Structure 1
Amino acid sequence: MYEITVRTRFAAAHYLKDYDGPCARLHGHTWHIEATFRGNMLDSKGMLLDFGEVKRKIKAIVDELDHNTLNEVEPFCGSSENNPTVENLARYIYYRLKGQGDGHDQAAKISRVRVWESPDTSATYAEV
């Protein structure tokens, strides 16, 4: 089994809805994203996936979030079920990457997304 991980970061603000604490107020983070892909086979060039292509896909998602208030960006605007927590952000990015397949039976699949909101706190989303 092979895995590759691509890291990136972006800056964005958020506040936690229906939360009793300081994070209920608008504040910002430099969010760090780690997207890991997994597969059993390498291509003819000896790669699981082309890092450049993976970076392009992640950048498209991150560009929509960067320097925004996450509470005002779909899917986080609306009900508290879509609160822009680090957990929900990890799930959102995971599903966006999962949905960006090229339509072919690709050997490598998104395995997990980890989002860091600070150097000491992160959340990971993966399907079992």
Structure 2
Amino acid sequence: MFSVTVRDHMMIAHSFTGAVFGPAQRLHGATYVVDVTFRRAELDDDGVVVDIGAAADQLHEVLGELTYRNLDEDPDLAGTNTTTEVLARVVADRLALRIGDGALGPGGRSLEGLAVTLHESHVAWASYDRRL
């Protein structure tokens, strides 16, 4: 399996519901470094997994829908604890929709999966893998 990874970042505000979250139940900010790995079994005719520039652009657009926002006020995320794990899935699912709509060109349709990793810090991160 071949893979290509692109990186970006986002800064969000949110709060959590549930005693397990302690002081994070209050509104707070988080900055994530976001890695997305695109996978496919065979390279395309140009010898690549995916156009890196197009992949980076799509990631940036998806993150632009979330960054500098209070996620507690986002109707699509209402009632959801937007943990790092949940946000990794949100980013993956939104990218998958764009890929399905052809945003990465014809080569994007041959992708078999992607993984999104949100790094909370240099010592903690969470990932979500999905098939396409």
TM-score range, shorter chain: 0.7 to 0.9
Equivalent-residue separation in structure 2 for 1:119 and 1:75 (angstroms)? 29
Structure 1 residue runs without a partner (length 5+) = none
**Would the aligned equivalents of 1:94 and 1:110 in 2 still touch at CA under 8 Å?**
no
Structure 2 unpaired stretches of 5+: none
Number of residue pairs matched by the alignment = 125
Give the share of equivalent positions with the same residue, in percent: 31
- Cross-structure match for 1:69: 70
1:43 aligns with 2:41: no
Does the 8 A contact of 1:14 with 1:70 survive in 2? yes
2:82 is aligned, of 77, 84, 91, to 84
Cα distance, 1:91 vs structure 2 = 0.6
Q: Indicate the residue corresponding to 2:111 in structure 1.
A: 108
Pairwise CA distance, 1:115:
0.9
**Which range moved further: 59-68 or 108-117?**
108-117
Q: CA deviation at 1:119?
A: 2.2
1:16 is aligned to 16
Structure 1 residue runs of 4 or more that deviate by more than 6 Å after TM superposition: none
My pick for the range that moved more, 68-77 or 45-54, is 68-77
Deviation of 1:74 after TM superposition, in Å, equals: 3.9
Q: Does the 8 Å contact 2:41/2:112 carry over to 1?
A: no
Greater mean alpha carbon deviation, residues 113-122 or residues 21-30: 113-122
Match of 1:121 among 96, 114, 124: 124
Cα pair 1:15 1:26 within 8 Å, conserved: yes
CA contact (8 A) 2:40 2:111 kept: yes
RMSD over aligned CA atoms reads 1.9
Shift of 1:117: 1.9
Counterpart secondary structure, 2:110: coil
TM normalised by structure 2 equals 0.84
Distance in 2, matches of 1:22 and 1:121, equals: 18
* Structure 1 equivalent of residue 4 of structure 2: 4
